[in-house]
Amino acid sequence: MRTAQSRRLYPPSWSYPAFILWLECGYAVALRLTTGLPWTTSTWQAAICLAAIGPLLLAVMNVVAGPKVLGRLPAAAFHVLRHVGGLGEFAIPWLGWAALIRIMNAGDLRWIAAFRSAGAIAVFSYLTGAALLLRFRPTAADVEVTEVTIDLPNLPRSFDGYRILHISDIHCRTLLPAQRVAERLLPAGSLHPDLIVFTGDLSDESPLRLETAAEALSALTAPDGIVAVMGNHDIWSGEARFVKAMAHHGIKLLVNDHLTLSRDGAQLHIAGVNDASYTEKADLAAALNGVPDGSKVILLSHAPAIMRDPLAQRASLVLSGHTHGGQVVLPGIGPIYVPSRLGRRYSSGLFRIGQTQLFITRGLGEVVPPLRINCPPEMAVLTLRAGGEVCAPSFINSRMHPSASAATPKGVPPKVR
Ligand SMILES: [Fe+2]
């Protein structure tokens, strides 16, 4: 695995307690200035509680986004969560802070003062957040090229050594325009893959960046071309527009469909499903329809949640993105939030699930806050090897959730069809 040239996304370990101390001091000063309350132990107690609200919210989000709860919600519930969630990110901390300040100072403070105080704390928090964005915003120099060798039993000999460049989650937007995307894609020029696969989420912000992002992606070349599937953001940006842009730039888009690669008379099938996350448009049965029994299949799915479908066991290898590796990964804790119905432990890396293998890339861009901590942007080169042990994991990503160190994850359908 090649490491990033820049170490700026890897803060020293002392910076975490320093960050908490910074928040608590800032909150205590904001409380003191806006309420006029004396410097007492309770002011500091209140500051500590206020600083705890953020991590608490993230913990709740991880439970909600986990396979036990989120996995059972219907598609309509996701749309509600998506639209209400954006507002909630701002309103809930403010209301929570105001309520805490009022409760902890019930005798001395009116509600209006509590809201004013919470507003000051919010401003302090957002200024701190802006400083973090400036410090931890990735650049092209931070892109890591991950090289993984994957043993696939019964892979035709003619595909032994076949190289797939896996790119995902570019998220081209105002904060990451096409020119910056092209810079992040530069390492791909020297990788010489046989095939390039893109597993979705090309742009954000509706169709504004779609064309230029597709142009940057289509500039990459490989003998077997570029194959793509749609992500949730591609669908939200306008499915028909995305289909048109892919066709216009010569990128083969698989929408619950497959294609067949041939070498010396042997075949390898590349199947691709539509988004299996929030939009629930994946139809794996349709994607595999017509694939001969016993033939080798590599499945592309934006969301790793496709592994919940027992039919996914028909593939020898599944390639996914969507998780961004969590984007913010704390030592000893792992990624603080992973938007996946498969659960937080499947944030990035190679996993054995039942009789198939799943590779999840951290992706090339960022979603929501344009920052990454201990989780650099990534493109992966996967070299397929014929033979080897049945689905033996050959690589485990060190940045995933600590509990994922087990070689064979549980809780996913082991049934083989
Ligand atoms: Fe996504």
More confident residue, 411 or 416: 411
CA of 230 to the centre of ligand 1 (A): 9
Which token pair is 195?
Answer: 């095939």
Helix then strand then coil, % of the chain, to nearest 5 = 40, 20, 40
Question: How many Å lie between the centroid of ligand 1 and the Cα of residue 339?
Answer: 8
The model's pLDDT over 238-268, given as tens digits with 9 standing for 90+, comes to: 888 999 999 999 999 999 999 999 999 999 9
pLDDT band at 1 (very low <50, low <70, confident <90, very high): very low
Give yes or no for a contact between 321 and 363, defined as CB atoms under 8 angstroms apart.
Answer: yes
Report whether 388 contacts 357 (CB < 8 A).
no
Tokens of 169: 């989650």
Residues 69-97, mean pLDDT to the nearest whole number: 65
Name the least confident of 279-283, 330-334, 358-362: 330-334
Q: How far is the CA of 246 from the centre of ligand 1 (A)?
A: 18
Phi, psi of 300, deg, nearest 5: -105, 130
Is the pLDDT score of 35 beyond 70? yes
Nearest-5° Cα angle at 52, 47 to 55: 150
Say how many Å lie between the CA of residue 200 and the centre of ligand 1.
Answer: 7
300 C-alpha vs ligand 1 centroid, how far in Å? Answer: 13
**Region 11-39: what's the mean pLDDT?**
80
Residue-wise pLDDT for 296-343, tens only, equals: 999 999 999 999 899 999 999 999 999 999 998 887 788 888 888 787
Ligand 1 centroid from CA 192, angstroms = 27
* Residues 229, 300 contacting (CB under 8 angstroms): yes
pLDDT digits (tens, 9 = 90+) for 203-212: 886 677 889 9
Q: pLDDT digits over 186-226, tens only?
A: 999 999 999 999 999 998 866 778 899 999 999 999 999 99
Given this model, what pLDDT does residue 279 score? 79
CA 79/CA 120 separation, integer angstroms: 32
Residue 170 Cα to ligand 1 middle (Å): 10
pLDDT at 51: 74
Task: Give me ligand 1 centre to Cα 259, in Å.
Answer: 23
What distance in angstroms lies between residue 291's CA and the mean position of ligand 1's atoms? Answer: 27
pLDDT, mean over the chain:
82
- Minimum mean pLDDT among 89-103, 177-191, 320-334: which range? 89-103
The burial class, CB within 10 Å (0-12 / 13-18 / 19+), for 240 is: exposed
Q: How far is the CA of 278 from the centre of ligand 1 (A)?
A: 8
Distance 276 CA to ligand 1 centre (A): 9
> 26 — phi, psi (to 5°)?
-60, -45
Distance CA 100, CA 53 (A): 10
Distance 282 CA to ligand 1 centre (A): 13
Which residue, 118, 110, 70, 72, is CA-closest to 94? 118
Q: How far apart are the CA of 365 and the centre of ligand 1, in A? A: 11
Residue 263: other Cβ atoms inside 10 A = 15
Q: Ligand 1 centre and the CA of 288: distance in Å?
A: 22
Report the separation in Å between the CA atom of 342 and the middle of ligand 1, taken as the mean of its atom positions.
13
How many angstroms is it from 78 CA to the middle of ligand 1? 13
By CB neighbour count within 10 A (0-12 exposed, 13-18 middle, 19+ buried), where does 401 fall? Answer: buried
When pLDDT is averaged across residues 271-279 and rounded to a whole number, the result is 90
Least confident window among 19-33, 70-84, 402-416: 402-416
Q: How far is the CA of 337 from the centre of ligand 1 (A)?
A: 14
Tell me, what's the pLDDT at 208?
A: 73
What distance in angstroms lies between residue 233's CA and the mean position of ligand 1's atoms?
6
Q: Which residues contact 364 (CB under 8 A, 6 or more apart)?
A: 143, 167, 168, 169, 170, 181, 184, 185, 377, 378, 379
Distance 334 CA to ligand 1 centre (A): 20
Using the 8-state DSSP alphabet, how is residue 325 labeled?
G
User: β-strands 329-330, 334-335: how paired?
Assistant: antiparallel
300 forms bridges with which residues in the sheet? 272, 319
Using the predicted structure, report yes or no on whether residue 67 has a pLDDT greater than 70. Answer: no
Q: Is the dihedral of CA 252, 289, 303, 333 positive or negative?
A: negative
CB count, 10 Å around CB of 197? 27
pLDDT of the residue at 377: 95
* Greatest mean pLDDT among 2-11, 74-83, 324-333, 408-417: 324-333
Measured CA to CA, the distance from residue 76 to residue 280 in angstroms comes to 10
Give the whole-angstrom CA distance, residue 370 versus residue 365: 8
CATH superfamily of 141-405: Metallo-dependent phosphatases (3.60.21.10)
Structure tokens of 283?
């139809």
415 CA to centre of ligand 1 in angstroms: 27
Q: How many CB atoms are closer than 10 A to CB 191?
A: 16
How far apart are the C-alpha atoms of 282 and 276, rounded to whole Å?
Answer: 5
pLDDT, residue 86, reads 57
* Per-residue pLDDT, 78: 58
Give the C-alpha distances (Å, rounded to integers) separating 54 from 97, 125, 211.
Answer: 10, 10, 37
Q: What's the half-sphere exposure (Cβ side, CA atoms, 13 Å) at 168?
A: 30
| CA 228 – ligand 1 centroid, Å | 14
Alpha helices in 224-328 (DSSP H): 232-236, 239-248, 284-288
Task: Select the highest-mean-pLDDT range: 1-15, 107-121, 299-313, 340-354.
Answer: 299-313
pLDDT reading at 412 higher than 60: no
Compute, in angstroms, the gap from residue 232 CA to the centroid of ligand 1.
5
Distance 199 CA to ligand 1 centre (A): 9
Say whether pLDDT at 107 is over 80: no
Q: What pLDDT, on a 0 to 100 scale, did the predictor assign at position 299?
A: 98
In the reported structure, the alpha carbon of residue 109 is separated from the centroid of ligand 1 by a whole-number distance in angstroms of 44
pLDDT tens track for 114-169 = 888 888 888 888 888 888 888 888 989 999 999 999 999 889 999 999 999 999 99
Strand order in the sheet with 296-300: 257-263, 266-272, 296-300, 317-320, 356-360, 349-353
Please, which pLDDT band fits residue 48 given cuts at 50, 70 and 90?
confident
Domain ranges (residues) in the chain: 15-136, 141-405
pLDDT, residue 3, reads 46
